[in-house]
Copies of this chain bind each other. A is one copy, B any other.
C-alpha cells in the first residue's frame, strides 16, 4: 500500500489505528500528561452530562473537575457545533 500524500493528517493517523492500545500509545507520545488528563476528564464529563442525571456540583464532587469546566463542556454538548460527541455517544446503545 502506497502512501501518496507526503504528510498524514492527525485525524487520518488516528482513524487508521484500530486497537485501543495503539490509540493509547499514540496519544501518550503526542500529548503531555497534563493534556491527556485534561482531554480524558472532558470526555468523562461529557458522558456524565449526556446521561442527564447529575447536577454540576455532583459531577464536581465525583470527578474533581470544576463547575467552570463542566459548564464549558456542557455548552459544547448543547450547541453541538459538529456533532462529534454525538457520533460516539450515540453508539452506546441503540
Task: Report if A64 contacts B (CB, 8 A).
Answer: no
Copies in the complex: 2
29 CB < 8 A contacts A-B: A2-B93, A3-B91, A3-B93, A8-B88, A8-B92, A9-B20, A9-B40, A10-B27, A10-B40, A11-B20, A11-B21, A11-B27, A12-B23, A13-B88, A14-B14, A14-B17, A15-B18, A16-B88, A17-B87, A17-B88, A22-B84, A22-B87, A25-B84, A28-B81, A28-B82, A29-B81, A29-B84, A30-B84, A35-B39
Chain A residues within CB distance 8 Å of chain B:
1-3, 7-31, 35-36, 39-40, 42-44, 46-48, 76, 80-85, 87-88, 91-93
